[in-house]
Amino acid sequence: MSSPFSQEEGPQPPKVLKAPMEIIANLRQLQEDHDPLVITFHERNQRFQSYVIEVDRDKKLLVLDELMPSDGERYLVNGEAFSVEAFHEGVRVAWKCEQTVRIAEHEGARCYFSAMPLEVVYHQRRSAFRAPLQPSESIKIELSGDKLRTALPGELLDISATGCKLRFAGTLGSNLQAGQVYERFTAKFPFGAMTTAIEVRHVQYEENLNTTFIGARFHRINGQEQRLVERFVFHLQREARRFDNDGLF
């Protein structure tokens, strides 16, 4: 049985994909896994979220979901160029759109028709173990900061030396935004709690589960907190290997 903690490939230099089939394959992965897109307009600081909802190879069109927050649509109406960034299983996928998009509807929902990108940056950056928690493990977390009105309780789903995935009950609306740093993330490990800042990389609400999933990266974590994280990752790795070995008998 393969261990879920086999070390992933180290960071690779970015690749620029230009072959249409490669570009389409990567965009379809983003669509199928419902990976969130972070959209930024040139010379503007605000970030917006969207999703790939259709990849039309024949028409060379990419259909994007409505921007959140929705006021970003006015920049599209103005014809402003924008950049798109997404993460799929630790790989950064990014491209630029410098052509005017068409605002329309797709299956009854507002959307945007964009030309298929001619180039996509593909960057495998993760070099840390990603350790999922076993069902028997339950690590409570709390997220707070100057940009949040109240602290948000949640649960840890997986963790590495560089970041983590979190689960929160219900929809958080606009409380959390991709790209934003939140000053106080606290996780209660079995051997003690750690607190550090995190940068939210993506936010995904699953309506059928009434659950919000957050992908985050530790932000300027100090040495003591880093050691606590690595100790817990090692604990999970050891438990998983023990579980794998027990499963052989």
Phi then psi for 228, rounded to 5 degrees?
-65, -45
Spatial distance between the Cα atoms of 159 and 141, rounded to a whole number of angstroms: 12
7-11, 63-67, 136-140: the lowest-pLDDT one: 7-11
**Does 15-124 carry CATH code 2.30.110.10?**
yes
User: Hey, where are the domains in the chain?
Assistant: 15-124, 131-246
Q: List the beta bridge partners of residue 185.
A: 143, 196
Number of C-alpha atoms within 13 angstroms, CB side, residue 237? Answer: 15
Mean per-residue pLDDT, 127-142 = 76
pLDDT at 113 over 50: yes
CA–CA distance, 129 with 234 (Å, rounded to integer): 9
What is the per-residue pLDDT across 168-179, written as a single tens digit (0 to 9) for each? Answer: 999 886 778 888
Predicted local distance difference test score (pLDDT) of residue 29: 85
Q: Is the pTM of this model over 0.75?
A: no
Is the pLDDT score of 183 beyond 70? yes
DSSP states along 30-51:
HHHTTPPEEEEETT---EEEE-
Q: Could you tell me where the beta strands, DSSP code E, fall in the chain?
A: 15-17, 37-41, 47-50, 52-56, 61-65, 82-88, 91-97, 102-106, 109-115, 120-124, 131-132, 140-144, 152-159, 163-169, 181-189, 192-206, 211-219
pLDDT (0 to 100) of residue 246 = 53
Task: Output the CATH code of domain 131-246.
Answer: 2.40.10.220
pLDDT at site 127: 55
Average of per-residue pLDDT values in the chain: 84
Separation of alpha carbons 27 and 202, rounded Å: 17
pLDDT given for residue 80 in this prediction: 93
Token code pair at residue 144: 């707070």
